[in-house]
Chains A and B, each alone.
Chain A
Amino acid sequence: MAYVKQWAENEKLNKTEIAKLEKDGLKIIDDIPYYAENGFDSIPKEQWDLFKWAGLYLQRPKEDGYFMMRVNVPSGILTKPQVETLAGIAKDYGRGVFDITTRQAIQFHWLEIQQIPDIFKRLEAVGLSSAGACGDITRTIVGNPITGLDPDELFDTSAIVKEVYDYFQRNEDFSNLPRKYKLSISTNLKNASNAEINCASFTPAVKVIDGVEKKGFHLKVGGGLSARPYLAQTVDAFIDPERTLEVAIAVTTIFRDYGYREKRHLARLKFLIADWGVEKFKEKLEEFTGPLPSKGEEPVEEWNAGYFYGVHDQKQEGLKFLGFNVPVGRLDAEEVFELARISGKYGNGEIRTCNSQNLIIPNVPAEMVDELLAEPIFERVTINPNSFMGHAVSCTGIEYCNLALVETKERMRHVALELDNRIELDVPVRMHMVGCPNSCGQRQIADIGLQGMKVRNKEKQMIEAYEIYVGGTLNAGGQFNEKLKGKIPAEELNDVLVNLLQYFKAEKNAGESFFDFVQRVGIDTLQVQLDSILEPAAS
């Protein structure tokens, strides 16, 4: 269905917008066979950005011609053939690197243009796609990774996620949005989909209508992190599950037609919502949907940040789902093949990815759990990770990212290993490490956020250093963490964190979370503590 690009006559459009009017991002997919045939040098530089719509980014340094590819995994659900296909791509073309992202997608590195057509063919054969995984388009849809299995979800959202994802996939009516656009759909009561940091989120809700309690969704809009973070706000509306696609189309149409296109740095939906407010947004929404009932109740429990470690009952009698830790989200291709084999042997072959960069093997009969857990791979990909390793997140870092200033993935892994060796707590502490201010590793919502920088001292020695942020959460609507003053040299980071966490351990109440502790003692107290930790090092 064609639509009128109402913004086309705007003389103040930014250059990316003008380029998008000349050539829709999805069209690059048609050009890729030619470029594959003729090599990387045949790709005009001005076309590089459009590769995002095909789910491809150039790795650093861009001129070397290696691509990162992101593959959509709506709601994190993968079948055995899909897992095997992804493992095969990582093995054959991606130097074995297989990353799970903070939106449940899969990323490969080191791909070359001549390999892309075969990769596309392999993905298509098993119903996967990288189209729209990057670029100004509806990205993969984050969902409850245990939907359909979850005894605590309000209702199964797998069919709804599929319906909405399929509608937007390669849909040229919605492939020219003002900026990236992230949806989540989940009725997990523990907010496993991190609703508040998506552009638009469908979250669990109940409402009594005509004397009958209905289960449905609330709609949160305008969230997003990056350098200017916003938390999504709840629209005063109750959405019948059967109308999810209709409402998702309406929200996306509003973003497409009313979102800002003059200034690219102000183009995310969050800026429109910040200007309009959710009341005006609801008025516009109802122009598309007709009147919507006002919102109901939110039957939410404590936020689980997408973590599902351990063996858990499914809603299906006698079946278990098992949540495993993938250290900083990275697997080797051979490990992925092995996980597929194990899932096929003990479960139904499915693997689910989590936005905590971890994975779940579902549908395992209770009597087979012990045998499954005895498989050697689960010594590393463990079901009961040490606390810090089990709650460590990192961005890609300097290894592949053009804008990162420091190493993050390996450093975060080493920090977590060391902390687990040196300190034991009665609550998990979620740590997120990022290599620049753009916060792809979701630094702002961490209990402890670590932001990297490069420092040269008086002796002209160059070191990597980190600043510490404390007290982020998505509980009760969410709160971003706050910075403590003081740069921590990378080599001192472990000791400083151990000291800070020992103070937490000594002063905390039994069972008190890190977030609650920060709220109780206050940032100033923690700053004094950090200053005293840093003093010996400085003197």
Chain B
Amino acid sequence: MAYLYRFDVSIGEKNVIAVIYADDDEGAFQHLDVELEKFYLKEPDVNEITLREKKRIVKKSGFILDEDEKGW
């Protein structure tokens, strides 16, 4: 069973929302590191990563990313 994970990533002074596909929580955190390294030219100064929610991956799954209406 795979899941879609929603993270809050605190980088320097800003917060980024990240969505990761993985089989388990630990794998999701590990792959988030990979994606962060791939995305930013310079290795980001990550203060904190928060796993907020996970959803089962069926044929369709997703999250809405809205700064003002985060749904929690």
Contacts and interface: CB of A to CB of B under 8 A. Distances in A.
Interface of A: 15, 61-63, 227, 402-403, 405, 436-437, 451, 453-458, 462, 465, 467, 483, 487
Contact of B48 (A403, A405, A451, A455): A455
Given A402-B1, A405-B25, A453 B71 contact: no
A451 B51 contact: no
Interface string B16-32: 00000000010001000
Interface in B18-68: 25, 29, 46-56, 59
B53 A405 contact: yes
Given A63-B1, A227-B71, A453 B54 contact: no
Given A403-B56, A458-B48, A437 B71 contact: yes
A467 to B, nearest CB: 8
B29 A456 contact: yes
A406 to B, nearest CB: 9
B55 A403 contact: yes
Given A63-B1, A437-B71, A451-B72, A458 B47 contact: yes
Nearest to A15: B59
Contacts of A227: 71
* Most chain B CB within a 10 A radius of its CB, from A61, A403, A456, A458: A456
Given A454-B51, A458-B47, A61 B71 contact: no
Interface size class of B (residues with CB under 8 A): 10 to 19
Question: How would you classify the secondary structure of chain B's contact residues: helix, strand, loop or mixed?
Answer: strand
A408 to B, nearest CB: 15
Given A437-B71, A458-B47, A453 B1 contact: no
17 contacts: A15-B59, A61-B1, A63-B1, A227-B71, A402-B56, A403-B55, A405-B51, A437-B52, A437-B72, A454-B25, A454-B50, A454-B51, A455-B49, A455-B51, A465-B50, A483-B72, A487-B50
A514 B48 CA distance: 32
Contact of B50 (A61, A402, A453, A483): A453
Nearest to A404: B54
* Most chain B CB within a 10 A radius of its CB, from A63, A454, A455, A462: A454
A437 to B, nearest CB: 5
A456 B54 contact: no
B29 A462 contact: yes
A79 B72 CA distance: 41
B22 to A, nearest CB: 13
A453 B71 CA distance: 14
* Most chain B CB within a 10 A radius of its CB, from A15, A227, A405: A405
Contacts of B1: 61-63, 402
A15 B52 CA distance: 27
Contacts of A465: 50
Contacts of A62: 1
Contacts of B53: 405, 436-437
> Sorted from nearest, which 4 A-B pairs have the closest CB atoms?
A454-B51, A456-B49, A455-B50, A437-B72
Contacts of A455: 48-51
Nearest to A405: B51
Nearest to B29: A456
B49 to A, nearest CB: 4
B25 A456 contact: no
Nearest to A61: B1
A465 B49 CA distance: 11
Nearest to B53: A437
B16 to A, nearest CB: 14
A456 B53 CA distance: 14
B29 A405 contact: no
Given A456-B29, A456-B48, 13 more contacts: A15-B59, A227-B71, A405-B51, A436-B54, A437-B72, A453-B50, A453-B51, A454-B51, A456-B49, A457-B47, A465-B50, A483-B72, A487-B50
Contacts of A402: 1, 56
Contacts of A487: 50
Nearest to B23: A61
* Most chain A CB within a 10 A radius of its CB, from B29, B48, B55, B59: B48
Contacts of B46: 458
Contacts of A483: 72
Contacts of A457: 47-48
A403 B52 contact: no
A437 B72 CA distance: 6
Contacts of A451: 72
B20 to A, nearest CB: 13
Contacts of B50: 453-455, 465, 487
B15 to A, nearest CB: 12
Contacts of B48: 455-458
Contacts of B49: 455-456
A458 B11 CA distance: 10
